[in-house]
Amino acid sequence: MKWVVVSAALLGLASVIMGAAGDHMLEGRLTAQATEQISVALRYHQLYSIVLLCVGLYGLTQERQKFLMAICLTFLAGILIFSFSLYLSVFLSLPILTFGTPVGGILLMAGWGLTAFYAARLPKKQQ
């Protein structure tokens, strides 16, 4: 689980870099639609970096880490596919890359579903 926390921290760092790049390097160079795509990608990137960090930190203290690892991998894949398909579609001017965005969104939803399932199955003493 330690690598999950490291990954979340690096993704958080990358989100700050992407935000700065969007604000400073691309200012005035993007269409309104491209600016909105970057904004959505950045919002999800930052939010799910925090979610991944929380699950990873929680997992460091738990014995049932395999299921938590599945949750982390699902969120990680969702972040990468959702946000980076939007980033790359704008930066590479390849709108076709946005076809990956819904896959990332489905993975993020699956991560929430897995989290709910995990929590519902916790023993009474941990509730």
Task: Encode pLDDT of 64-77 as tens digits.
Answer: 788 999 999 999 99
d(CA 77, CA 21): 23
Q: Quick one: residue 7, left, alpha or beta (phi over 0 = left, psi -120 to 50 = alpha)?
A: alpha
Asked if 114 contacts 62 with a C-beta cutoff of 8 angstroms, the reply is no
pTM: 0.87
pLDDT of 1-45, one tens digit each?
Answer: 889 999 999 999 999 998 888 777 777 788 888 889 989 999 999
Contact of 44 with 83, CB cutoff 8 Å? yes
71-99 average pLDDT score? 94
As a whole-number percent, the residues of the chain with pLDDT over 70 amount to 98
Helix intervals (H) in 1-127:
2-20, 32-59, 65-91, 101-120
Residues ≥6 apart with Cβ < 8 Å to 84: 41
Spatial separation of the C-alpha atoms in residues 124 and 36, rounded to whole Å: 44
What residue ranges do the domains of the chain occupy?
2-126
